[in-house]
Chain A
Amino acid sequence: MNKKPQTAAHDRVRDSGGAAKNRIALVLVLSVALLGVCAVLAIGIGSVYIPPGKVVEALFSPAAAGSTEQIIITNMRLTRVIASIFGGGALALSGLLLQILFQNPIADPYVLGISSGARLFVGLVMLGGLTLGFHTSSPWFLFLGALAGALTVMGIVLLFALRMKSVVTLLIVGTMLGYLCTALVNLLVAFSDDHAIADFTRWGMGSFGLMTWAQIQVLVLVCSVIFLLSFLLTKSLNSLMLGEAYAKTMGVNTRQLRMVMILFSGVLTGVVTAFAGPVAFIGMSVPHICRLLLKTEDNRFLLPAVILVGGVFGLVCDLIARTVASPGELSVGTITSFVGVPIVLFLLVKKNKVSL
């Protein structure tokens, strides 16, 4: 390479690169800190208030074992906090992958009907299980059912996406598939026994508060594996931001990458939906919030940020859902919709201004 004197422009780029890096580091560190603080607060807040000091003590000091606080925490609050952190992170990452996959800013497991597909298949397992002769409450079985549902709907959406490029068309296709799945679920409900329906309905509202420890284990295990594996995709994902053709000419095996992205987002959506029910809009809102915070499209930084901010988002929305109408409880989807719907509308208006 020719060694010519560095121009002012070269220096400027190096400087601005440094400033951008600092910003990204700051946001990542802050979101880790925020996640910790929110987790402690969320464990403390509830019908019995436990001050943060006691929460930390109950979690980390063996001396607290057996105390009332410790029992409340491990039996009730902790599952919920872990579920909402991993659930939020998983849905957010799933949304990020879908947005890149579909080249569409409003892609999200809920908007595209993928959650509804998972719900339908979970319905088949929960409601139809008895009739069809397989009764099992294994969390893995629920997860596989949800995964099958998620991948089925995603396959259908992809077929449509191949034919139509418009952002709005895809939104309509997803919504329609969502309605179809709901209709099928209603049909299923009509033929099921009352006991199962009660369970299914409660689950179908969407909540991070229903999980058993066995389910939490599956959720944490599956999510952690996918979180780690997804970091291996970041370079290819960056190339894909320019579109599939450009990615190919930069040496990316796009067919393989697409398959992996579909599988990952399907697994993430499936595992969350299996245990928490369909939760709206986290997958769509969080990547956009992160893009605004980080001011970058670089997936090497966006990806960890999306997981962390998704965790915080899930945690806070769940906290609001269970405290605002206390002692009653709202579904977490109610809260996420309040955040998510304005973002969708904003993005649609913005998109329409440019071109559709």
Chain B
Amino acid sequence: MSQVVFRNLAVGYGGHPVLEDVNLELMQGRFTCILGPNGSGKTTLLKTLAHLLPALGGVVEIGGRELSGFKPLELAREMSVVLTDRVQLESATCFEVAAMGRSPHTGFFGVLTQGDRDFVMDCLEKCSAGYLADKPFQQTSEGEKQKVLIARGLAQNPNVFILDEPTSHLDIKYKLEVLSTLKKLCAGEGKTVVCTLHEPELAVKCSDYLVLVRDGEIPQWGPTRQMVESGTLSSLYGLGPHQLDMLVGTAEFQGPDQKDFFLIGSDAGSVPLLRSLVSAGKGIGAGVLHENDFCCRLARSMKGQVVSAPPYTPIGPEKQQEAFDLAMGYSHILLAQFPDCDITRGNRELVRRLQEAGREILPAQSFSLSEIL
């Protein structure tokens, strides 16, 4: 069921649209990530949904009701928001900060009942921030602050939970912690979570839906799995076609176009080997690699030329020829240590032919870049 619907929405500041003609549906109990390069308008979109910016056109509907029809307090009970604004409180404890989220539910003077207190404490614990309750908010780390602010949002007990870049400035440990908390909220409590993320490689691993924003429009959106398979994410950020490997969820540094090192086959040491070659500024290539081999994807995201074979199939003569022609163009050829079996036999044959053609084959395992240079 769709919980939030955008219809022909235009968003922007001071009458200037940043993003136009937005038509989206956010599903209830699902985790939607909005991805896009800096300045693409994803935060503007989020702030319009949060009713912090007026829509320049079109409508936003929440649970079938128009956003502008909500009274402020009604909206605060339906939806809560975690922003990137710095929160500065000299002497409040983390519990007090989280408890502020109860304010749409408390009476005129905002007195907390024991029920409210327990609810806030539960929210802190869901964000694995229970241990922070008595600590002064100002003395906690950025990651801890973020967890407390998310607990504050939860204390509002919303159906729709909106977060603007909840993982920026956090260590990887906290990034993962925050995202797994959000996932649990969707799966466990049926909350509809929408957030912008700066890390596409994390978004593909945690979200149910992806919304791509670029150049004032939404080129694509849909279930994360479809989006990953379509392979359009790398170009979203203006990267090389394979540089951002969304299936694996990794972005790699790219080597130059020159043909320096060609790797035959792969072994356990091939990943760090390829990375060290690229970081030394060398162009790489590889073959014949099976498509389900991580090195095959890695070499491609490093802009290497790769001859690949379908998973778990013997390397045929055409592939072997293709790899032979490619390898001959490289200055150095390296050989990984792979076991002999039906599906690798083609690579042994490739090595033999290259040696016959007078090429020196270096063992990849004992290879040292400094000796070559």
Query: Which A residues are within 8 Å of any B CB, using their own CB?
Result: 1, 6-7, 9-10, 12-14, 16-17, 103, 105, 234-235, 238-239, 241-243, 245-246, 248-253, 291-292, 295-298, 300
Give the residues in chain B near A253, CB-CB below 8 Å: 72
Kindly list 10 other residue pairs between chains A and B, CB separation below 8 angstroms, not including A9-B125, A9-B133, A297-B90: A10-B121, A241-B89, A248-B52, A249-B50, A250-B104, A251-B77, A251-B104, A291-B91, A295-B91, A296-B91
Q: A1-B115, A239-B103 are in contact. Are A13 and B52 (CB under 8 A)?
A: no
Q: A12-B133, A235-B109 are in contact. Are A252 and B92 (CB under 8 A)?
A: no
User: Hey, what's the 0/1 contact readout for B63-93 against A, CB within 8 Å counting as 1?
Assistant: 0000000001111110111010111111111
Q: Is B130 among interface residues, defined by CB-CB distance under 8 A?
A: yes
Q: Is B131 among interface residues, defined by CB-CB distance under 8 A?
A: yes
A-B contact pairs, 18 of them (CB 8 A): A9-B121, A10-B117, A105-B90, A235-B106, A242-B89, A242-B100, A242-B152, A243-B83, A246-B83, A248-B72, A249-B50, A249-B52, A250-B156, A251-B73, A251-B74, A251-B103, A291-B90, A297-B90
Q: Is B101 among interface residues, defined by CB-CB distance under 8 A?
A: yes
User: Hey, what's the 0/1 contact readout for B31-68 against A, CB within 8 Å counting as 1?
Assistant: 00000000000000000001110000000000000000
Q: Is B95 among interface residues, defined by CB-CB distance under 8 A?
A: yes
Q: Is B322 among interface residues, defined by CB-CB distance under 8 A?
A: no
**Cα A243 to Cα B100 with chains together (Å):** 12
Q: Is B325 among interface residues, defined by CB-CB distance under 8 A?
A: no
Give the residues in chain B near A298, CB-CB below 8 Å: 92, 96
Query: Which B residues are within 8 Å of any A CB, using their own CB?
Result: 50-52, 72-77, 79-81, 83, 85-93, 95-97, 100-101, 103-104, 106, 108-110, 114-115, 117-119, 121, 124-125, 130-131, 133-134, 152, 156
Interface centre among B110, B114, B152 (most CB of A within 10 A): B110
**Cα A2 to Cα B152 with chains together (Å):** 19
| A253 closest partner in B (C-beta) | B72
Q: Which of A13, A238, A245, A292 contacts B117 (CB 8 A)?
A: A13
Q: A245-B83, A250-B103, A296-B92 are in contact. Are A13 and B121 (CB under 8 A)?
A: yes
**Cα A234 to Cα B156 with chains together (Å):** 19
Interface centre among A14, A234, A235 (most CB of B within 10 A): A235
Top 5 A-B pairs ranked by shortest CB distance? A251-B76, A251-B73, A235-B110, A249-B81, A251-B72
**Pair count A-B, CB < 8 A:** 109
**Closest-CB distance, A104 to chain B (whole angstroms):** 10
**Cα A83 to Cα B109 with chains together (Å):** 30
Give the residues in chain B near A13, CB-CB below 8 Å: 95, 117, 121, 133-134
B90 & A238 in contact (Cβ 8 Å cutoff): no
B109 & A250 in contact (Cβ 8 Å cutoff): no
| B87 closest partner in A (C-beta) | A242
Give the residues in chain A near B97, CB-CB below 8 Å: 242
**Closest-CB distance, A13 to chain B (whole angstroms):** 5
**Closest-CB distance, B131 to chain A (whole angstroms):** 7
B85 & A1 in contact (Cβ 8 Å cutoff): no
| A237 closest partner in B (C-beta) | B110
| A355 closest partner in B (C-beta) | B86
**Cα A254 to Cα B184 with chains together (Å):** 33
Give the residues in chain A near B75, CB-CB below 8 Å: 249, 251
Q: Which of B86, B88, B118, B131 contacts A10 (CB 8 A)?
A: B118
Give the residues in chain B near A245, CB-CB below 8 Å: 52, 81, 83, 85
Give the residues in chain A near B124, CB-CB below 8 Å: 9
**Closest-CB distance, A309 to chain B (whole angstroms):** 16
B119 & A239 in contact (Cβ 8 Å cutoff): no
**Cα A6 to Cα B118 with chains together (Å):** 8
| A15 closest partner in B (C-beta) | B134
Give the residues in chain B near A291, CB-CB below 8 Å: 90-91
**Closest-CB distance, A353 to chain B (whole angstroms):** 12
A1 & B118 in contact (Cβ 8 Å cutoff): yes
**Cα A250 to Cα B169 with chains together (Å):** 25
A249 & B76 in contact (Cβ 8 Å cutoff): yes
